[in-house]
Amino acid sequence: MSHPTGRTVAANLSLSLDGRYHGPGGPADFGAFLPYVATDTARDQMTRMCAAATTAVLGRVNAEGFLGYWPSVADDADADPRDRAYARWLVDTEKVVLSRTLATSPWPRARVVDAPAPDVVRELRGAGAGEILVNSSPSVIKPLLAADLVDRLYLLVVPAIVGGGERLFDDGLPGTTWTVSSQVVGAQGEVAAVYDRVR
């Protein structure tokens, strides 16, 4: 599903049943998600989401975290082939890191931009080709949802209620309608869904 004014903007995130992307202990409280994020269902979703993407948009925290993990996976013969493919995609693709504090890029093939996420994505949408993937960065996804700039959502919903923590869908978002273009239920009850914005 492409946007009428240019490239498709997609976003991916793992969510609990109560709509949170981390637990009550803060951003590092990810324990409830760990049993599900490396399943076949999650890895196949990862493969789907980067198949058409040619630009990755990341917040600073994720960019630095990903930098510490994924490049070594790209060359790890023992890693799952889907993990290696995703790591190679992440290393090789154009990356835009949104940050108010970084002076230089932490990645090769990346540039740091200090500007509001909606402005950056509108500019990216009007240039180049391929999908723009906002990669697991809620600090970027949330303002894009508020500006109705997300065309596709790749969500991994894990069968756990965490009872606290940040929610993806805040009150006050514009009302929007979505269609389900893909839905896979994993062996442990995790659901990998792809939602496309109806415009």
Tell me, what CATH number does 59's domain have?
3.40.430.10
Residue 105 has pLDDT above 60, yes or no: yes
- Residue 4 maps to a domain: no
Is there a domain that residue 2 lies in? no
Token pair for 71? 């490049």
The answer to whether the CB of 10 falls within 8 A of the CB of 144 is: no
Within a domain: 1: no
Task: Report the distance separating Cα 194 and Cα 8, nearest Å.
Answer: 13
Structure confidence by residue, pLDDT tens digits, 67-101: 888 989 999 999 999 999 999 999 999 999 999 99
Any idea how long the chain is?
Answer: 199
Cα 77 to chain centroid, rounded? 25
Beta pairing, strands 191-197 & 131-135: unpaired
Cα separation of 102 and 151, whole Å? Answer: 28
Single-letter amino acid code for the residue at 177 = T
Residue 134 is assigned to a structural domain of this protein: yes
93, 110 Cβ separation under 8 angstroms: no
CB contact at 8 A, 14 and 156: yes
Strand partners, 191: 157, 185
In a domain, 26, yes or no: yes
How far, in Å, CA of 89 to CA of 165, rounded?
30
Specify the pLDDT at position 37: 93
Number of separate domains in the chain:
1
Calculate the alpha carbon distances from 10 to 25, 56, 119, 163, 196 in Å.
Answer: 28, 10, 16, 27, 9
Task: With respect to residue 58, please indicate whether it lies within any of the assigned structural domains.
Answer: yes
- Angstrom CA distances, 166 to 15, 29, 67, 72, stand at 10, 11, 24, 30
Per residue in 32-76, pLDDT (tens digit) is: 999 999 999 999 999 999 999 999 999 988 888 888 889 899 999
Q: What is the pLDDT of residues 154-192, one digit of tens each?
A: 999 999 999 999 999 999 999 999 999 999 999 999 999
Is residue 190 domain-resident? yes
The answer to the question of residue 3 being in a domain is: no
For residue 25, the enclosing domain spans 9-197
